[in-house]
A and B are shown apart, each in its own frame.
Chain A
Amino acid sequence: MTVKLVFFAQVRDRLGAGELMVTFPQGATVSDCLVWLTGRHPGLAELLKVSRLAVNCEYVLPDHLLRDADEVVVIPPVSGG
């Protein structure tokens, strides 16, 4: 299945991209997205450790199952206000 990873703030700045399409095997979870990203960009490891993930505009737990065409948003520590 293929999901869209979406990035904001310093994750987007460091990656130089706002989104990436990535294919995962059936049964993959959102934490697999972080493992994949960390593998491709080891320099982001520390930042990804403190980032949260959202699917369909809701925060999800690491064991949340991915579905085809999901939009998975990486939410680095927020700093509004």
Chain B
Amino acid sequence: MGSGYLTTAPLEADLQQRSTDGRDGAEVEFLGIVRSHEGGRPLECLVYQAYEPMAERLIERLVADARMRWSLHHILVRHRLGRVAVGEIAVLVRVQSAHREEAFAACRFLIDGIKQDVPIWKSAVGLDGVALACAHGHQPC
């Protein structure tokens, strides 16, 4: 699947696979997790779809931009596609660097860029299995 930033596999396994080297003094990790309720309505899951070739390309560019702006050792970005159950990780961004400032800044830059520009969409499925309607679908549903 392109550069492999998008996956249908659970991301929980990635949490166990962290490694650091001697240069790392900081690691910042952001996890986006599916909430149990949206707008007061109980959820069963979110379903993510993407325009995959463009999404992979734009995430690759965000990663390259982050490396240009800050001195970073390692970057991991993974985003789920398909059904993601309540409580599961939908997106993971991990940055390792010598010091905390660049790790925090780059992690924030990456997740903000993903949410703003990368063609990924989510739809919400209620406990009855019926899709929940959202105004324009771009509400945080």
Q: Which residues of A contact B (CB under 8 A)?
A: 6, 8-10, 46-47, 50, 54, 57-59, 73, 75-81
Contacts and interface: CB of A to CB of B under 8 A. Distances in A.
Q: Could you say which of A9, A46, A77 has the most chain B C-beta atoms within 10 Å of its C-beta?
A: A9
B87 interface: no
B119 A79 contact: no
Contacts of B25: none
A78 B54 contact: no
Chain B at the A interface: SS class:
mixed
Contact of A76 (B48, B138, B140): B138
A81 B32 contact: yes
Contacts of B54: 54, 57-58, 73
Given A75-B51, A78-B115, A81-B111, A10 B120 contact: no
Chain B, interface size category, equals 20 to 34
B138 A79 contact: yes
Nearest to B6: A80
Contacts of B51: 6, 8, 54, 57, 73, 75
Given A8-B49, A57-B54, A73-B54, A80 B122 contact: yes
A78 B119 CA distance: 6
B114 A8 contact: no
B91 interface: yes
A6 B50 CA distance: 12
Contacts of B141: 79
Nearest to A57: B54
Given A57-B53, A81-B32, A76 B136 contact: yes
Contacts of A79: 115, 120-122, 137-141
Interface string B40-53: 00000000111101
B91 A9 contact: no
Contact of A9 (B49, B115, B118): B49
A67 B50 CA distance: 25
